[in-house]
C-alpha cells in the first residue's frame, strides 16, 4: 500500500491505522469544522471527515489522504466532547441505561478523487449511578472523547453491549476502511 497521510491528531486513530499499514504520517487539518445547514447528525461526521481530508490534500495533492470524524448520537442529537465536568456528567447521565449510535465518517482523497462513507455502531449502556459517573469524570478520561466516554478505557465498564464495529466506536472502522482503501486504490489501476 502506498504512503498515506492521516488528517487526524487522535492517538486512537493512529493506533488503529497501524492495523492496516505502518506507512503513514500524521498531518493535522486546521480546517474550520463548520457544518452546512440542514445536515443530519448521521451525515455530519462524513461531511467533517471530507473537510479535514480536503484541507490537507490542498498542500499534498499527490498523496493519499484519510480524514475521519466520530460523533455520538442520542435521540437525534450529537453529543460532542464535554466542555467541563458538568457537561460530562449531563452527557453520561443522558447515556445511562440507553442505546446510542456512534458514527464515524471517513474520507479518502488522492489526485482529485474522493470516496467518503459513514459507519454506524449501536452501543447500549448499563444504568449508571451518580457515583459511577463522578468517579469516571474524576479519572479525566471523558474530556477528549465524543459523548464523554472511551470504550477502550474505563468507559468500557458502562457498556452492556454493542451491535457493529467495536473499532468504529474508538474512532476508525478499520475493517471497512481497509476494504474502501483497496477499492479506491484498485480504481487507480483501472
Choice among 22, 32, 62, 69 that is catalytic: 69
- Residue corresponding to grid cell 466542555: 83
Cα–Cα dist 180/148, whole Å: 29
69 is catalytic: yes
Residue with cell 492517538: 11
DSSP secondary structure code for residue 146 in this structure: G
DSSP letter for 5, please: E
Pairing of strands 99-110, 113-125: antiparallel
Q: Give the chain's radius of gyration (CA, Å).
A: 17
Helix (H, G, I), strand (E, B) or coil at 149: coil
Cell of 88: 460530562
Q: In whole angstroms, what is the distance from residue 78 CA to residue 152 CA?
A: 20
Q: CA-to-CA distance for 98 and 83, rounded, in angstroms?
A: 22
CA distance 109 to 95: 34
User: Which residues are tagged catalytic?
Assistant: 69
Amino acid at each position: 500500500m502506498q504512503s498515506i497521510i492521516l488528517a487526524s491528531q487522535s492517538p486512537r486513530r493512529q493506533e488503529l491505522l497501524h492495523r492496516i499499514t505502518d506507512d503513514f504520517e500524521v498531518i493535522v487539518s486546521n480546517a474550520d469544522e463548520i457544518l452546512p445547514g440542514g445536515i443530519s447528525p448521521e451525515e455530519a461526521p462524513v461531511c467533517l471527515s471530507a473537510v479535514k481530508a480536503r484541507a490537507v490534500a490542498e498542500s499534498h495533492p499527490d498523496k493519499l489522504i484519510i480524514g475521519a470524524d466520530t460523533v455520538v448520537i442520542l435521540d437525534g442529537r450529537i453529543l460532542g466532547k464535554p466542555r467541563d465536568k458538568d457537561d460530562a456528567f449531563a452527557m453520561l447521565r443522558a447515556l445511562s441505561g440507553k442505546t446510542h449510535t456512534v458514527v464515524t465518517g471517513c474520507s479518502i482523497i488522492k489526485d482529485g478523487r474522493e470516496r467518503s462513507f459513514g459507519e454506524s455502531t449501536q452501543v447500549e449502556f448499563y444504568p449508571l449511578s451518580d457515583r459511577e459517573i463522578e468517579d469516571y469524570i474524576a479519572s479525566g478520561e471523558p474530556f477528549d472523547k465524543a459523548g464523554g466516554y472511551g470504550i477502550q478505557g474505563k468507559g468500557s465498564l458502562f457498556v452492556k453491549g454493542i451491535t457493529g464495529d467495536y473499532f468504529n466506536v474508538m474512532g476508525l472502522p478499520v475493517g471497512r476502511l481497509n476494504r474502501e482503501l483497496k477499492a479506491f486504490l484498485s480504481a487507480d489501476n483501472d
